[in-house]
Amino acid sequence: MKKSFPLLSTLIVALTASYFLIPLYATFQFSLQMIRGTWSFEAYRSVFNSEVFFATVSFSAVASLAAIVVGILIVVPTAYWVRLKLPRLRPLVEFISLMPLIIPPVVLVFGYIRLFGSDSILPFTMSNTGTNVLLVAGYVVLSLPYMYRSVDNGMAAIDITTLTEAAESLGASRLRTIAGVIFPNVRAAIVSGAFLTFSISFGEFVIASLLNRPAFGPYLVQIGQDRAYEPAALAIMSFALIWACMVLMQLFAARKPGRRLLPRPAIKSARRVTP
Give the separation between CA 129 and CA 124, rounded to whole angstroms. 8
**Mean per-residue pLDDT, 58-86:** 92
pLDDT at site 254: 62
To the nearest whole percent, how much of the chain has pLDDT over 70? Answer: 89
Number of domains in the chain: 1
Structural domain including 248 reads: 44-273
**Considering Cα of 230, then 235, then 238, then 239, what sign does the dihedral take?**
negative
pLDDT at site 263: 45
110 belongs to a structural domain? yes
Give the separation between CA 33 and CA 5, rounded to whole angstroms. 41
pLDDT at site 259: 43
pLDDT at site 1: 54
Average pLDDT taken over every residue of the chain: 84
Give the total residue count for the chain.
275
Q: Please write the tens of the pLDDT for every residue from 244-272.
A: 877 776 676 665 554 444 444 444 443 44
pLDDT at site 275: 42
Q: Please write the tens of the pLDDT for every residue from 102-128.
A: 888 889 898 888 888 777 777 888 888
Chain Cα centroid distance, residue 257: 20
Residue 88, judged by CB atoms within 10 A of its CB (0-12, 13-18, 19+), counts as exposed
58 belongs to a structural domain? yes
With cut-offs at 50, 70 and 90, classify the pLDDT of residue 63: very high
Give the separation between CA 13 and CA 238, rounded to whole angstroms. 24
Confidence check: pLDDT of 23 > 60 = yes
28 belongs to a structural domain? no
Give the separation between CA 60 and CA 198, rounded to whole angstroms. 9
**Mean per-residue pLDDT, 173-199:** 86
Contact (Cβ atoms closer than 8 angstroms) between residue 190 and residue 72: yes
Confidence check: pLDDT of 139 > 90 = yes
Confidence check: pLDDT of 55 > 70 = yes
101 belongs to a structural domain? yes
pLDDT at site 252: 65
pLDDT at site 136: 94
33 belongs to a structural domain? no
**Considering Cα of 217, then 222, then 224, then 227, what sign does the dihedral take?**
negative
Contact (Cβ atoms closer than 8 angstroms) between residue 137 and residue 63: no
| This prediction's pTM | 0.81
**Torsion angles phi and psi, residue 200, rounded to 5:** -75, -45
Helix ranges (H only) for the chain are 7-31, 42-48, 51-85, 90-97, 99-102, 105-115, 128-156, 160-169, 174-177, 183-185, 187-202, 206-210, 216-226, 229-254, 264-273
CATH number of 78's domain: 1.10.3720.10
Confidence check: pLDDT of 142 > 60 = yes
35 belongs to a structural domain? no
Q: Which residue has the higher pLDDT, 14 or 120?
A: 14
Which letter, b or e, does each residue of 90-122 get, where b requires 16 or more Cβ atoms within 10 Å of its Cβ?
A: eeebeeebeebeeeebeebbeebbeebeeeeee
**Mean per-residue pLDDT, 59-84:** 92
13 belongs to a structural domain? no
**Mean per-residue pLDDT, 141-158:** 91
77 belongs to a structural domain? yes
